[in-house]
Structure 1
Amino acid sequence: MKPSQNAASVFEQVGIALSESSTPIPTRLVIPSDARRKASSEPALSARPSRRPGRILDEVEEIPDEEPIERFDSHPPVSHATDAAVIALSLQEMGSIQLPLWYQPSKADLFQQHFTSHFISNFFNPASFLRKHNMWAYHLPAILASTTSPAVEHATRAATMAFYGTKAGDDSVKTEACRWYVKGLGLQRNELQKASSPGRGQQLDSTSVLAPLMFSIFETIMMTSKFGWVQHLHAACKFLEVIGPEACQDGLGYSLLRSVRLGVVYCAISWTTPPIISNEEWCTIPFAIHGKDAYDSIDDVFLQVPQCVILRTRYQSLVASGMPEEADTLAPELESAARTLLQRLQQWWAQHVHELHEPWTQSPITPQASPHHRTERPRPTSTEFVAPKTFQSTFNASTIARFSSTSLIAYGMLRLVSRQVGYGAEIAAHGESILSAFRYQERAGAAHTGVIAMLHPLTVLSFLAVDRRQRDAARDAMLAWGRARGVGKFVEGNMRDDVGS
């Protein structure tokens, strides 16, 4: 029986019993005077020292026995049926107090706080050097409390629930995350359309970038579509373009821009057009206040890779289409772009080698070096790269791995257009650099490896390594790392994409 039905039955039974009773129901409560005197003379209970003995009774005026105290002195005498109705109504009012026993307020906010805390604690490592690139994540609770964007709320809930459900192996949470993801997509489309309208950009702030960034994280976890995470990064770049580089010089905008750059660098190889944030103004204006570290600088170089990739794709298409003459015409342009990229990499190395250098005793490798003419040196010159075996910080390991992966892309393009197979020693040296960085990150702990920091170099190595042992080692490391981080589907999906030769 339902609670409401049970209560109604009780009320009805009480009413019938009272109406059929032959015993008069008193409507006046009588307290004899001798009882009042006896109560007032009794000592106080030790359990209630704060109450003066007989205080309540003392406040009652002495009334003779023949003058009882009126209980319902404001009402005229009533019939037994009326008394039954009053008692039934009183029971009904008492029953209403029990409603919270079967009705509880929504706990959605509490669960969201739990999912968000779990996401911040496990997806972003506070001890990692990438903390300053992902500083926005540690302010996520405050952002959610103040944002007026439904898309940001839906995207955050979808990403945090997807990550929690994957790590905990809870399919119901992952299913619910997908529901929030679908709802949020429509909201993001509306915001993106409004952002594209004239004058709308002045009404947007940097918080709008958070929704596509969280949707991209959701896709790296759930992989509902193969390139969904890339599409969301495109949307993030669109929002950045609307708000402008000046809005990304400090605070939340600055932190979000650096996170978007990390993602764009990873997928830039597959972009058919260079991203807006690879423009010169986006590589200078946002860093006018805080400047750049070595990691930001190497990202500047890597953001020029899409230009080279476009040329490489055209060259490969011409070769595959049986148009060798047209391919030969394009080859010098591709070679020039690859050498320009290598030159920028060497300039970066010369500028940052002393802050990144460790006391390695490996062989320096230059673009023209031969494996038969290596010389052992305790310290490389400013233009020579040394394949390291050990590192002293996660920052050094990840930064040099990014440098080596970019170098692999440049050497891979030169190898593609070269009349003779070459650059094997350079590719092997940079491949060993990436594997050494990953081994160091593993010893430091899986949490010290950023989501993008090591996955991208390993992906590049898995396609461009000349040595099959390096290629297999990179793929095995990617799979193990991705499963441990809850992004196994994302890793497996990208291992099937040709980013290299």
Structure 2
Amino acid sequence: MARVGGRSRGCANCRQKRIKCSEELPSCSQCVKCGKICPGAVQGNIFIMSSFKDNARRKKSRGVSETVSKSQDSGTGIIVPLAIESLHPSFGKLQATPLNQLLLPTRRAPRRTSPSHATPSSYDKYILQLLSSQPCYVLLDRQRMSGRFIECLTKTPGAPMLKAWLPQLPGILSKRSAPTLTFALRAVSLALFGSLANDKGAQLEGIRWYERGLQSQQKDLILLTNGALASGVTDEAICGPILLAFYEMTNCNTSTDAWMRHLCAASKLMEMRGPEACSSGFAHALFRALRLAMIYVTTDQRKPSFLATDLWRSVPFCETEKSSFDKLVDILTVIPLALSVSDAVAALGDDSTPQARDEAATKLLEIRRGLEKWWTEYTCELMQEDGLNSPSYMQAGDAHLTTSLRVTALYDDPFEAECRALYDTGIILVSHAQILISPLLDSTTLREEIVAHGSSILLAVNYIERQEVWKDAGGPFRLTYPLKVVRDTSPNLQQSQDADAFMAHWRKHRGINTDLTGSKSSSIINVTTTIG
């Protein structure tokens, strides 16, 4: 086996057309000009079977190498016989499913045929030696990898409600061109695969696609601000920044606040569309996912969002009935505004006016009562589903009386545990703000309540971790928000350390960006300023 001089290292498209390939990564210039998806230039050494007995055997040998080369194209998706399951089980199962049917090719992969002069064992050694020169992520077709990414994410808790838009992405991309969304989907698919399989090559290619996604997004935003796009803000224009934000969440080595900027850009685009356009279909599913993510951003930055207005809390649900979770999100969206007012009053100290203190205290009390009412209705709903009667303490609705009983409550589903953690987070934020602006309140009772709900959050996180429902999806990103609240507000030092330990573990072993506050300088384009 020897390297054949003059053998093209270009992509499959250029080799098929017999033209010179620039061999650029991730896409060559010829494919970019033609608007085609580039399968990528050949990496590393290329080995073929060498025989000098007759031309017939040489042609057979060349046919084998071409069969292997063609299997890297988008038509077949995987090179056999290397076992992808050894890289990561979830990305090894590439059979057709209802989800990725649009992504998978209809024709069957070519059968492997051994050259007549090679024994099966020597042929297998030859194939493995050939494949060892290629990055393992090249073995997976990009479209199939995107399908596996979507399938992994839609198996996580709350997916039917919060990720209903993900399975529709292949259909959108098959109907119209959306470069930003295409690049972002490839980037997050490679990033997740690289993280799960510990493949640095896949992660590096993910970075290249992410950079292309940033450049494409910047062009789209310029066209939108200039009114050059006749279609206006489309669904895919909002999906692109959301996926770019997900990429940042799965890469803790990047900027700590870039994911916030992407989400702010997506929310700005949604605001430009208006609430009426988010009342049904794909846009409504996207709206539900985005407004939950924006709670993390606005709470951390203490900046109220347009999503907290009565208009945006009612019009998008004119055709869809709100679930219990939607009602909880309604309450959580107004907390950032109350926190910003409370912080301003607390910063003034004794110089603040009694009227300002009363207004802040009244707003916090309204939110607390809303959370208590939601909790009572939610627990009654769960008990009715289980055929149980509501106990008297649930009907009382007293926050301090029922705290210890709530902490000991169990959950039958990971998403129930997440709902519980978000509710506990809201109570902690309100209690902490009440301590800051109302010294006359029983601060001891409020601190005990913070500790009790902090314990509830840690129990929920531990329960979800033991269920291993996020193992194929990178990690429980939504739970970093409650954990950060426990770490920063709990008066119990052990709770703060436990919450920090959870986040440090996810950051080290899963690559999750658990820092919600941007502390590093970012080279990312501030897309929020561009559109605003």
TM-score (norm 1): 0.68
* Structure 1 equivalent of residue 379 of structure 2: 353
Say whether the 8 Å CA contact 2:470–2:476 is kept in structure 1: no
Of 234, 237, 258, the residue aligned with 1:205 is: 234
Q: Distance in 1 between matches of 2:433 and 2:153?
A: 34
Q: Read off the aligned partner of 1:249 and give its amino acid letter.
A: S
* Structure 1 equivalent of residue 431 of structure 2: 411
Q: Distance in 2 between matches of 1:258 and 1:144?
A: 21
Q: Distance in 2 between matches of 1:478 and 1:356?
A: 30
* Structure 2 equivalent of residue 494 of structure 1: 516
Higher mean displacement: 164-173 or 430-439: 430-439
Say whether the 8 Å CA contact 1:233–1:264 is kept in structure 2: yes
Establish whether residue 2 from structure 1 lines up as the match of residue 8 from structure 2. no
Say whether the 8 Å CA contact 2:257–2:518 is kept in structure 1: no
Say whether the 8 Å CA contact 1:254–1:286 is kept in structure 2: yes
Of 294, 304, 308, the residue aligned with 1:278 is: 308
* Structure 1 equivalent of residue 214 of structure 2: 185
Map residues 153-164 of structure 1 onto 2, 5 A cutoff.
153-164=182-193
Establish whether residue 169 from structure 1 lines up as the match of residue 198 from structure 2. yes
Say whether the 8 Å CA contact 1:387–1:432 is kept in structure 2: no
Q: Percent identical across equivalent pairs? A: 22
Of 223, 232, 237, the residue aligned with 1:194 is: 223
Q: Give 1:379 deviation, angstroms.
A: 4.6
Note closer, same or farther for the CA distance 1:200–1:316 as it changes in structure 2 (3 Å cut).
Answer: farther
Q: Distance in 2 between matches of 1:113 and 1:185?
A: 20
Of 235, 240, 245, the residue aligned with 1:216 is: 245
Note closer, same or farther for the CA distance 1:419–1:273 as it changes in structure 2 (3 Å cut).
Answer: closer
Of 463, 480, 483, the residue aligned with 1:458 is: 483
* Structure 2 equivalent of residue 37 of structure 1: none
Q: Give 1:207 deviation, angstroms.
A: 2.2
CA deviations over 1:374-430 (Å, ceiling 9, x no partner):
xxx775225134423221222322212111100100000001123253312221221
Q: Give 1:357 deviation, angstroms.
A: 4.9
* Structure 1 equivalent of residue 287 of structure 2: 257
Q: Read off the aligned partner of 1:107 and give its amino acid letter.
A: D
Q: Give 1:228 deviation, angstroms.
A: 0.4
Asked which structure has the greater RCO (Cα within 8 Å, sep 6+), the reply is: 2
Q: Distance in 1 between matches of 2:310 and 2:290?
A: 16
Q: Give 1:240 deviation, angstroms.
A: 0.8
Map residues 40-439 of structure 1 onto 2, 5 A cutoff.
104=69, 107=73, 110=77, 111-125=141-155, 128-198=157-227, 200=229, 202-223=231-252, 224-315=254-345, 317-318=347-348, 324-326=350-352, 330-357=356-383, 379-384=393-398, 385=402, 386-389=405-408, 390-419=410-439, 421-422=443-444, 423-439=446-462
Q: Distance in 2 between matches of 1:442 and 1:304?
A: 29
Q: Read off the aligned partner of 1:355 and give its amino acid letter.
A: E
Q: Distance in 1 between matches of 2:357 and 2:240?
A: 41
Q: Distance in 1 between matches of 2:7 and 2:413?
A: 66
Q: Read off the aligned partner of 1:271 and give its amino acid letter.
A: Q
Say whether the 8 Å CA contact 1:405–1:430 is kept in structure 2: yes
Q: Distance in 2 between matches of 1:201 and 1:238?
A: 18
Q: Distance in 1 between matches of 2:518 and 2:261?
A: 18
Q: Flag structure 2 segments of 5+ consecutive residues without an equivalent.
A: 9-54, 78-140, 520-532
Note closer, same or farther for the CA distance 1:435–1:200 as it changes in structure 2 (3 Å cut).
Answer: same
Pairwise CA RMSD of aligned residues?
A: 3.4
Q: Distance in 2 between matches of 1:133 and 1:462?
A: 26
Q: Distance in 2 between matches of 1:4 and 1:232?
A: 43
Say whether the 8 Å CA contact 2:249–2:477 is kept in structure 1: no
Higher mean displacement: 250-259 or 418-427: 418-427
Q: Distance in 2 between matches of 1:496 and 1:474?
A: 19
Q: Distance in 2 between matches of 1:120 and 1:284?
A: 30
Q: Distance in 1 between matches of 2:454 and 2:165?
A: 33
* Structure 2 equivalent of residue 51 of structure 1: none
Q: Distance in 1 between matches of 2:326 and 2:407?
A: 21
* Structure 2 equivalent of residue 56 of structure 1: none
Q: Distance in 2 between matches of 1:160 and 1:350?
A: 40
Q: Read off the aligned partner of 1:397 and give its amino acid letter.
A: A
Q: Read off the aligned partner of 1:325 and give its amino acid letter.
A: D
Q: Give 1:192 deviation, angstroms.
A: 2.2
Note closer, same or farther for the CA distance 1:432–1:496 as it changes in structure 2 (3 Å cut).
Answer: farther
Note closer, same or farther for the CA distance 1:166–1:404 as it changes in structure 2 (3 Å cut).
Answer: same
Say whether the 8 Å CA contact 2:457–2:483 is kept in structure 1: yes
Q: Flag structure 1 segments of 5+ consecutive residues without an equivalent.
A: 6-90, 361-376
Which structure has the bigger radius of gyration? Answer: 1
Q: Distance in 1 between matches of 2:221 and 2:281?
A: 22
Q: Give 1:115 deviation, angstroms.
A: 2.4
Q: Give 1:440 deviation, angstroms.
A: 2.5
Say whether the 8 Å CA contact 2:153–2:159 is kept in structure 1: no
Q: Read off the aligned partner of 1:178 and give its amino acid letter.
A: I
Higher mean displacement: 181-190 or 349-358: 349-358
CA deviations over 1:20-46 (Å, ceiling 9, x no partner):
xxxxxxxxxxxxxxxxxxxxxxxxxxx
Q: Distance in 1 between matches of 2:392 and 2:486?
A: 27
Of 465, 486, 490, the residue aligned with 1:442 is: 465
Say whether the 8 Å CA contact 1:266–1:452 is kept in structure 2: no
Q: Distance in 2 between matches of 1:437 and 1:204?
A: 38
Q: Distance in 2 between matches of 1:302 and 1:182?
A: 33
